[in-house]
Structures are given as C-alpha cells and as structure tokens.
Amino acid sequence: MKRQIPVFLVFIFGVFMVFQYFSPHEASEWVYKFLMDWIYIIGIFAMALGIWSLIHVSYDKIKHKRHDWGYSVVTLAALFIMTFFGITGFNENGDWGFYFMTQEGLTNPMFLNFFNYILVPIETTMFSLLAFFIASAAYRAFRARNVLASMLLVSALIVMLRFNPYFGDAFAFYMNKTAAWLLNVPNMAAKRAILIGIGLGMVGTALKVVLGIERGYMGKG
Amino acid sequence: MRYIFVIFSLVLLTFSAGLAQVDTLGVDSILLNIAPPSPISNLTVYDKANDHGHALILEWTPSPDDGAGMNTVMLYEIFRSESPDSPFVNVGSVPLGNSRYDNIGILEKESRDYIPDNTDLYYRVDAVTINPEVRASSEVFGPVRSYSNWFHRGRVPVLLAVLIFGGLMMYFVTVARKGAELYVRPLAGISAVDDAIGRATEMGRPILYIFGLGTADMISTIASFTILSRVAKQVAEYQTQLIVPCYDPIVMTVAQEVVKSSYLDAGHPDAYNDDMVFYITTNQFAYVAAVNGIMLRELPATNIYMGKFYAESLILAETGAVAGSIQIAGTDEVGQLPFFIIACDYTLIGEELYAASAYLGREPIMLGSLKAQDYAKAAVIILSILGIIAANFGLTAFTNIFKVLD
Amino acid sequence: MELGTFVWTTLGAMLTLAIFSFLYKDNPFYKFAEHLVVGVSAGYWAVILWHNGLVPNLLERLQDGDWYYLWLNSSRPWYLIPAILGILMWTRFSKKYSWISRWPIALYIGIATGVAIPLEMSNRVNKQLYATMSNIHWSNFFGTGFLDTAAGYSEVIVFIGTIAGLIYFFFSKAHTGTFGVIAKIGIYILMIGFGASFGLTVMARISLFVQRIQFMHEDWALPAFDKTNPNYSGWFPAFFWLVGLIVFGYIMRELIIYLKNKDKPKPEKA
Amino acid sequence: MTNKKDTNIFNRMMSIDRRWVFLLLVIVCVTAYFIPFTIPILIEPEVAVIHEFIDTLPPGSIIFLAIDYDPASLAELHPMTYALLEQCFRRNLRVMCTALHPNGPSMAEAAFLDVADSCRMDKTYNGEFFPAREVVNGVDYCFLGYKPYPALVILGMGTNFRLPFPADYYGTPLDSIPLMRGVQNYDQMACVVNISGTSGTEYWISYGQGRFGFPLALGVTGVMGAEYYPFLNSGQVFGYMAGMLGAAQYEKLADNPGKAIIAMKVQLYAHFLIIFFIIIGNVGFFMDKYKKKREGR
C-alpha cells in the first residue's frame, strides 16, 4: 500500500497532464494553473523541512562540539537575524512591529543592508572566482593529448584570439570570422544533436516514471 | 529561484502597466489642418484557432493613405461593441503599416479587456492621423463570436510523436521482459561510477553526490534520483560514507527517501541517518561556497555531479580537482558541458545522463527504453534527410506535416 | 557617503577579500564568509518565499474565510487542497508517519513529468527536427564567401554534424565500421563546438573579476579618501587601513609559517 | 603533485601549481586596470564611420541620442554614451535625447551630468586642443525623458517633438527651451544614434529610419550584436557598435580612453596569460613525450 498509492498518483496526474497539453480549452487551462499552484505551494511548505535540516545539522555540530563548530553558530545567528528582519519593519507611520501579511519586512533597512552588503558581495565574488578557475582549468586540461583534445584546444584558442590586435589587421579579421563561423556552424550542429538526444532521453525517462517502470525516485530501483 | 523570478517579473509588469496609463499623444495647435484619410477596407474578424477562447483576430486592407497617398495615417485604433448600435469601446491600437490585430482578452471578468465567449461582437477599425480628432472609421464588422477549443490542432505532430515513441517503448519493454538479449555499448562514465565507489572504500574517504541547482520538477533531477539510488545501494554495501548536500528542499526530501530505501535494500538500514542528505540553501553561490568548503574539508574520494548545473559547474569541478577527487559529471545543460568535459574525469553528455539509470541498473526492462530511444533517433535522422530532399524539390507539404504551431 | 554606509561597504569589501582568499587555500576568513552567507541566504529565501510566495498564492486566497469554518467559506476554498498537501509534507518530522509525505511528492513528480513529456517532445524534438529539415537551400551554394555562416556548405556541415552527433548517441549499436566512423565525426563536431563555446565564455568571466576590482576601487577605496564628501571623517581611512592591516597580518603569518617549515620535509600530500 | 625524482623542467612546465596561475592573473588584471598605457585596438569600419560622421558636422548641428538601456547593460553601453557625448559637446554640437526604456532616464541624466563636469576642464583629443566650456541644459542639450509605447513616440516625434513631449524631463515647456527654437522633428537632426540594450532598437529601425529616413547609427550590447548586424549590410543603419569591443573602439577613435578601454586592456592581457599557460603546458607535454621516446621508455 505504502508504495502503490504514490505510483498510482504519479500515473493519474502524469497522464492527465500529458493530455492537458493538447487541449487549450479554458477549463483545461484552469486545471493546469491550479495544479501548478499545487506544485508551488508544496514547494513552499517543503522549505520548512529544508530550514529544519539546516538548523538540525548546525545544532548537532555545536552540541557535539565537532570540528569548526563555531562557524555553525554564525550560520544559525545569520539565519535567525535575517528571518527576524524579514518579518519586522516600519510601516508608513514609522511604527516598528511584526508584519506577517504585509511586506514591510522587505523594506526593513537592516534586511536591505544584509542583502546588499553581505549576500550580494559574496555572491558576486563567488561568481567572479570563475575568472580564475577558467584559467586554471584551461591550463590543466588543454593538452593536445589526442585528436579529440586537440580539436577542443584549437577551437577554443581561435575563439580566444578573436580580438587580438597585435598580429595585423588581416590576422584579426580572419580570426574574427573563423570564430564566428565556429560558433555558428559546428557549435550549432553540436547543440542541435545534443538537444534532440536530450529531448528523447527526457521523454523516455518521464514516460518510464509516469508508467511506473522507473521508480528510482522512491528508492525502488 | 524561478518562482521568485516569475513573481518579481509579475510585480514589474504590474508596475509598468500602471506607468502605461499616461496619455501619450496630446493635441497641438500646429496640427489642425490635416485632411481626413481614407478608411481601411475589407475588415474581417474571426475566432482565434487552437486557444482558450476570449480572443479574436482582425485583418484588413490598409488605408491608401498609409505610407502612400497623403501619407497621414499614424495608427489604427480598434473598437469593439456588443451590439452595432451601442457605443464602441477602444480595445487597442497598432502603428501604421499593420493590417492585423490580435484582440486577446484577459480572463478576469472584471477587466476592461475581457472578451466574452459565445457572444455576438461587433468591430470597427479607425485610421487615425497625428491629430486624434482627424480619423476615418471603417464599416462595422459583425456579428462574430469567439470560442474555446477542446483540441489543439497545431500540436498533432507532437501527439503523434509521443504516441509512437510511447508505443515503441512499451514494445521494447515487453520484449525485454520476455527475456530477449539487448545489447548496449559500454559507456566510460558509467563503469567509472563502479570503480569510483570501490576507490572511495579503499581510501576510506566519502563520496559526494551533487544534484546541482535542479528542482524536483526537472526531468534531469528525476533521472539523477535513480542514479543516486544505485550509487547509494553500492555505497551501503561497501559501508562507505555518502554526502549529499542539497539546493532544493523537495530534492532533499526525495533524496533522503531514496538513500534510505537503498540502504534498506542493501541490508544496512541502521547505517542510514537523515544527516547524510541535508539542505544548505536555495541560493546559487551561497550553495557553491558551502559545497566548496565541504570538498576541501571532507576530501571526498569521488564527486558525482548529476542533474542541472549552471555557472557553478566549473567552480565545483575545479575545487574538486584541487581536492584530488575523481570526478564524474552528467548534465543536460548544453552550455555547461564544455566545463565539465574539461575539468572532470568522466562526463555524461546530454542524453547519456538519462541512459545512465538504465545502464547502472542493468535491468532488461530499462534497456528496452534505450532501444526505443535509438529507434526514435534513427527516425529523426531518416525524416530529416527526407525532409531536406523534399524541401529542395519544393514539396513543402511534406515538411509542413512536422511543423508545430503554438 | 555616510559613515554608516561606508562601514557596511567595508564589510562588503572584507567579505569580498575573504572569498578571494579561498583561491589561496581554505582559511578561517573564508569559512566565516561561507557560513555567514549560507545563513543569510537561507533566511532571505525563507522570508521571500513567505512574503512573495505563500502570502499571495495561498493565504490571501483563503483570507476571506474564517478559521472556525476551516476556511471552507472563503471565496476559493479549493486552495485548501494544496495547503493540506503541503502540510502532509511535514509528516517527515515524525518517524512513524513519514511515509505519508510520499503522496504529495508523488503528485509533484507526476505533474512535473506529465507536463514535461509533450513539452520536451515539442521543443527539443519536433521543432529541432523541423529546423533541421528546412535548413539547406541549393541557392546558398552560389555567390557566398569563404567562412560565411549562411553559405551552402556551412548548412551542409550543420546538417551532417547534427546527424553524426545523433549517431554518436546510439546506445544499442557498437561504434564499429562505417557506423563507428560517423560516430567519430559526431564526437569531433561536438568537441569543436564545446571548445568554441569555452573560448567565448572566457571574456564574460574575466569581466566578472573586473567588476569586483571596480567595486573595491570605486565603491570602497576611493570614498575612503574622498575629502570632498560632506560626511567625510577620519573614520573612513581608519576603516580602510584596518582592513589593510588584517590582510597584511594574514599574509605575514602565512609567510612566517612557510619560512619556518621550508627546510622541514613536506608531509605526504593526500 | 610531482614525484621528486621524475622532476625535469618539462615536467614542471606541465604541473605549475594553480596558485601561480591565480597570482599571475590577479597581477595582470590589476596592473592592466590601474596602470594607464595604450593598447592597439582594431578599428572596424562600421564604428569609424560614426566617429567620422560626427567629427565632420558643422558646429551647432543637433544630434539625436536615444538611450534605451538600464543598469543591467550599463557596463557595455555607458562608455559609448560618454565618449559620444564628450565628442559632441567638445565640437560644439547640440544633443537631443530621449530614454524610451523605463529605467533609461537615470542613465541619460548621469551621463549628461558627468560629461558636463568633464567639459569644465581643458582637454586635448587626437592632437586638437579644446578649451574648457560650460555645458548648459536647454542650450547645449535637451533631455526629453521617458514615455511608454516607443513605436508611437517615435512616430509622433517624426511630426513634431512637442506631440509626445510637450515639456522636457524637468518639466520645462519645449517652446521655452532655447535649443528647441526652430526645431520641429527629425528633419533638423543631423543623425540619430540609438544606444540600446532592449528590443527598442527594432522600433528605431522600422518606424523611425524606415518612415522618416534619417541616418541611424546603433550601439548595442554584445549579446544583441549578431542580431542587428544585417541592418548594416542592408543600409538601414550607417554605423554600428556592438558590446565592449565596439565601445572600446569608439573610445579609441575619440582619443578618450574610458572604462571600455580599461576593460579591454584587462581582457586582452588576461586572454594572453591564459593562452600563455596553455602553450607552456603543451610545450612541456610534447617535450616530455619526445624525451621519453628518445630514452626509449
């Protein structure tokens, strides 16, 4: 029972959604939107599980004084402070208070400061680490070990040299043109082949899930 | 994250809709001496096909003064009414040079832009000059009605494709179930998974399994769940440690369930605890920062990346390389494949990710679906060759069979 | 710039440096920034999901009902269904009833896969197939230049590349003979494409780093010494030099450790 | 990690610690960012033609500048606006400006104020000396601001600027603005330059240039680059700048190095550094292979 009902639910809703796609009727669209709301709302409720997991893991670390447990205090403190600022704030009269149903918390100056001066700088800096990793990855991996690796290397080099002004105008012109060609022709072919393959793989996997052949998502292999 | 984006865009849209209610054209004294233009002709209005109703399409022959003649027409304004006698309401406008307007209604009944279904409607189009007072109205067209359609005719090719593909799959699955031998060629990335688990056991170091930024409603994540269930089963048998940091709470929930069942199947239910699969945060780079930390502190023997990855792919894979882990990746995000191919030891490209679950299980039923995918690919190849030949001989009727209308 | 803003910016600059220090190695500054951002971002998303997700999508829809009627008298009582499903997810907090949480998950996955089947078939298969079909035109073989992407031969390469790429992905046939040759062409084309898109991305990634330099320079270092600022005070450079001191101190510490251990044999790296 | 006894120069070339790569990249980027020096920038004819056109206009001509971008594409497009405005004001040309993107006005305003500041100093561009001057709103430029429905606004301005914009962005009626004396519509404009990060460009091409036939030049983001290039070949657009590369070329032409050239400097040398490391790695790889072959291993 514990396993049959979920498989049955997947089947019913999966098949319904497949056929819904072919019916643009108002009623069918309404059901589609409503079911999308289900997914969304289930997702929000699940957030509580996520936050609980984060608190639980951090608390465990602190309780057992595991290695680096001090940093978990930082995580927990940041989590609670951010949540607190997000539900408190000043309304238009300047009164401070808890606001659950209205969005005063989102304009709380401390909430915005945490967002602008902690979250944003760390996020963008993490992102900019890519400048370094792309360099080290290129150095480490671009070796002409065999034909396959050489092709990767040569086409990357041509595209990287496309705006180099040092070897004369004619060189730059042809590099530019070759780079554009590489991006529009072989890259396009590669993308299209992969996309068609992925499409079939996706539909195949989804069909297996809907028909109950594939139950890996419930741990039943 | 997508939801938040959608919400933000909705807020922005409402905001800009508010801005849009500013009067655009004012009258100026210099404009008084414009002669009225000729009206448009041949106005026809019909129901929009394959839709949820509440929409009609207008077509007309432009005014002779549009871009030629007196060259005074600036825009066309469209008017609608529920009877030819009652006052007409302006429902929209298009700039000069257009001869078509899609009058798409809004579904909320209270809205000004609501178009009732199954009701007689009347339309009129005005050719308007730069002075809104100087205009020429067309004759009223009507009555016309809009309908909601139960079946989308433009999507027939998709329906056929799904049915044929589903049929192929059912056929091969039944064949496989009866015990026919199906050959699949070996994939390097797949056999690497088995070796990697063995290596982790020998070294006594954990295995890190990462879903990427996919949410549980993406098929790549669902495929990844299956791969995780196979990996977890082996991990449980070898008594190795498994770490699964998650980006999405539902993915975490499902992954906990998957790992738990796999440990149960492997006969080590007591070795499982919920903290092996844990949530970090739903923020791309904060998640990456934490996973990077895990990689350098736990020093996993193997990192397995399966699912949907975005810009973080290279940050993760490079940090993993620094930690000296064997890395196996698989994603269907085409833009990130180059980075995984460069930085990881093995990469499952696109469709191989979906095939991986079947490969790892080695169950004949699963291999049946791979066979169906191959036949579908063969069909795509043959049809596109036929299509190219047909298109160059002017047989567009053949290629149009495959055209999907939205 | 006010002093308060400058203090916050200094924090942002310190965190920026802390993240960059990860390039050298894992260290306490990075650990601090990492754990901080995890907490802040999780709190941020929880708040955003509450205010922009749950409130407008569920609570406001049931708001006009009364709790003593279980909101059944609200204008859209059917929104109680997803609410109940969401609450069923919380059975995971209990060991005994956690199996019930599989129902909402099954619904979630059922709906998601059902939506995906026709949609992916249409977008990734049908439409790509149609695009491939209407790709080559004989007329393009004449009068086009070398390396022209619209030239006939480029179109043929796109077509052959697509076919060969697809053949590479065949699972149930060994890559031998003619089939193997075509599959090999396929993987070559894939690799050329991947190389080109790697080369293209380098520029965008470097500019991310340039933006961080700009932030450190224009938003932080320049205001620290900008005496034309009406709110300027001696605290501005003080904060700047404080960060400088921390950075200098850390580098010195690492240098001393390095020099001390220079002559000792290196421990075997794992 | 290299094995001690197997270490030779080629082996070391193949296994440089990634931290040296990082350190060199930081040094190269920061140096290129802070130290002023020039790099050759390849000038493409489609950018040069814009500069040439504006440079040869008689003083007092009016340029129409359409700024349709928001902070998201600021990095690429602001340099174009700054270089162009500086050139116009130095040459005593006048500028009319609209921002048909909701977030555009703040972009345009910042550009006018900053360039007016910069014009208060003596400068030499391309060997020509330009004395300091005061740029006055209403005399040297007129900023009309934002109105929704770009297609209708563009069409309306073709008849008279006063139709969509009875007053400028600051609320001054157009009739009381000195610059607007005798100015009716695009006929009095020397050219229109659209600097855009949105699809608003399409309206300028089809409704603006298509209907009123004024010379139109475009400045677009790198992503949009390929999309609008065909309009150059068809002659609807006479000049074209795309992305950071286009902006850097314009700054170079105007001899007014700004953020785009700095960014290109960093880009160029960072690319060279990466290519250098790739070459080092490959040289090491091949020499090592060659050596091993000779030793018969």
Q: What is the pLDDT of residues C216-263, one digit of tens each?
A: 999 999 999 988 888 888 899 999 999 999 999 999 999 999 899 877
- For residue C91, what pLDDT is reported? 93
Is B137 a domain residue? Answer: yes
Phi, psi (5° rounding) for residue C171?
Answer: -100, -30
- For residue C270, what pLDDT is reported? 43
**Is D63 a residue whose pLDDT tops 90?**
yes
- Interchain CB distance below 8 Å, C207 and D244: yes
Cα B113 from chain centroid?
28
- For residue D23, what pLDDT is reported? 95
d(CA C61, CA C47): 19
Is A45 a domain residue? Answer: yes
d(CA A50, CA B186): 38
To the nearest whole angstrom, how far is the Cα of B30 from the nearest Cα of chain A? 46
List pLDDT tens digits, range D166-200.
899 999 999 899 999 889 889 999 999 999 988 88
With H, G, I as helix, E, B as strand and everything else as coil, classify residue C144: coil
List pLDDT tens digits, range D209-255.
888 889 999 999 887 877 788 788 788 999 999 888 899 999 999 99
Closest residue in A to D275 (Cα) is A157
Q: Does B339 touch chain A (CB under 8 A)?
A: yes
Q: Does B80 touch chain A (CB under 8 A)?
A: no
What amino acid occupies position C249? G
Is B169 a domain residue? Answer: no
d(CA D221, CA D74): 9
**Is C84 a residue whose pLDDT tops 90?**
yes
Binning pLDDT at 50, 70 and 90, where does residue D207 land?
confident
Q: Which domain holds residue D246?
A: 45-256
- For residue B338, what pLDDT is reported? 94
What is the residue-wise DSSP string for B265-303?
HTT-GGG--GGGEEE--S-HHHHHHHHHHHHHHH--SEE
D151, D239: one domain: yes
CB A142 within 8 A of CB A156: yes
The number of distinct structural domains making up chain A is: 1
Is A28 a domain residue? Answer: yes
Interface of D with B (CB under 8 A): 18, 102, 147-149, 151-153, 155-156, 159-160, 162-164, 166, 206-207, 211
- pTM metric for this prediction: 0.88
D214, D67: one domain: yes
CB B257 within 8 A of CB C105: yes
Q: Which domain holds residue B105?
A: 33-144
Report ipTM for this prediction.
Answer: 0.90
Binning pLDDT at 50, 70 and 90, where does residue B27 land?
very low
- Interchain CB distance below 8 Å, C195 and A154: yes
B310, B256: one domain: yes
List pLDDT tens digits, range B129-181.
877 788 899 999 989 999 888 999 999 999 999 999 999 999 998 888 887 77
- For residue A149, what pLDDT is reported? 92
Chain C: list its partners (3+ Cβ pairs within 8 Å). A, B, D
D91, D212: one domain: yes
Tell which residue, D6, A23, B388, D258, has the closest CA to residue C162. Answer: B388
List pLDDT tens digits, range B40-55.
999 999 998 888 888 9
B201, B104: one domain: no
Binning pLDDT at 50, 70 and 90, where does residue B23 land?
very low
H helix and E strand count, chain B: 11, 14
D117, D237: one domain: yes
Tell which residue, B319, B260, B262, B275, has the closest CA to residue B293. Answer: B319
D117, D156: one domain: yes
Neighbours of D14 (CB within 10 A): 18
- Interchain CB distance below 8 Å, B341 and A152: yes
- For residue A93, what pLDDT is reported? 86
Angle between helices D259-294 and A147-160 (to 10 degrees): 150
The number of distinct structural domains making up chain D is: 2
Is A153 a domain residue? Answer: no
Is A147 a domain residue? Answer: no
B47: enclosing H helix or E strand: strand B41-47
Token pair in block for residue B339: 């980075």
Which of A132, A164, A169 has its CB closest to that of D25?
A: A132
% of chain A at pLDDT higher than 70: 98
Tokens 């026809």 locate to: B44
The number of distinct structural domains making up chain B is: 2
Spell out the residues 6+ positions from residue D5 whose beta carbon is closer than 8 angstroms to its own. Answer: none
- For residue B4, what pLDDT is reported? 52
B267, B187: one domain: yes
Is D40 a domain residue? Answer: no
Tell which residue, D217, D219, D213, D221, has the closest CA to residue D237. Answer: D217
List pLDDT tens digits, range C150-175.
677 888 888 999 999 999 999 988 88
- For residue B142, what pLDDT is reported? 81
B191, B132: one domain: no
D111, D14: one domain: no
Q: Does B343 touch chain A (CB under 8 A)?
A: yes
% of chain B at pLDDT higher than 70: 92
Is A178 a domain residue? Answer: no
Q: Does A47 touch chain B (CB under 8 A)?
A: yes
Which of C35, C109, C174 has its CB closest to that of B185?
A: C174
Closest residue in A to D264 (Cα) is A163
CB B281 within 8 A of CB A78: no
List pLDDT tens digits, range A10-38.
999 999 999 999 999 989 989 999 999 99
List pLDDT tens digits, range B359-372.
887 677 778 888 89
Token pair in block for residue C121: 């078939």
D138, D244: one domain: yes
B206, B258: one domain: yes
B279, B347: one domain: yes
CB D161 within 8 A of CB D184: yes
D274, D133: one domain: no
Helices (H), B146-218: 156-177, 188-203
B233, B321: one domain: yes
Q: Which domain holds residue A6?
A: 1-66
To the nearest whole angstrom, how far is the Cα of A205 from the nearest Cα of chain B? 7
Is A88 a domain residue? Answer: no
Q: How much is the average pLDDT of A105-110?
A: 90
List pLDDT tens digits, range B184-201.
888 888 889 989 999 999
B76: enclosing H helix or E strand: strand B75-81
Token pair in block for residue A117: 């001066």
List pLDDT tens digits, range C17-40.
999 999 999 999 999 999 999 999
Neighbours of B253 (CB within 10 A): 26
- For residue B180, what pLDDT is reported? 77
Token pair in block for residue D211: 């209907």
Cα A162 to Cα A173, B74, B342, distances in angstroms: 8, 45, 21
Chain A: list its partners (3+ Cβ pairs within 8 Å). B, C, D
Binning pLDDT at 50, 70 and 90, where does residue C111 land?
very high
- Strands A88-90 and A96-98, how do they pair? antiparallel
Tell which residue, B388, B217, B240, has the closest CA to residue B301. Answer: B240
D194, D244: one domain: yes
List pLDDT tens digits, range D98-146.
999 988 899 999 999 999 999 999 999 998 999 999 999 999 999 999 9
- Interchain CB distance below 8 Å, C213 and D30: yes
- Interchain CB distance below 8 Å, A204 and B259: no
Write out chain C residues lying below 8 Å of B292, CB-based: 22, 34
- For residue B13, what pLDDT is reported? 46
Neighbours of B287 (CB within 10 A): 27
What amino acid occupies position B168? L
**Is D159 a residue whose pLDDT tops 70?**
yes
Report chain A's mean pLDDT, rounded to a whole number.
91
- For residue C146, what pLDDT is reported? 67
Report chain C's mean pLDDT, rounded to a whole number.
89
Q: Which of A41, A200, A207 to mutate to test the interface with B (most CBs of B within 10 A)?
A: A200
CB A204 within 8 A of CB B369: yes
- For residue B110, what pLDDT is reported? 81
**Is B21 a residue whose pLDDT tops 50?**
no
What is the residue-wise DSSP string for D222-268?
TTTHHHHTHHHHTTS-SEEEEHHHHHHHHHHHTT---HHHHHHHHHH
Which domain CATH number covers D92?
A: 3.40.50
Strand partners, C126: none
- Interchain CB distance below 8 Å, B349 and C190: yes
- For residue B72, what pLDDT is reported? 81
List pLDDT tens digits, range A154-204.
999 999 998 888 888 788 888 888 998 998 889 989 999 999 999 999 999
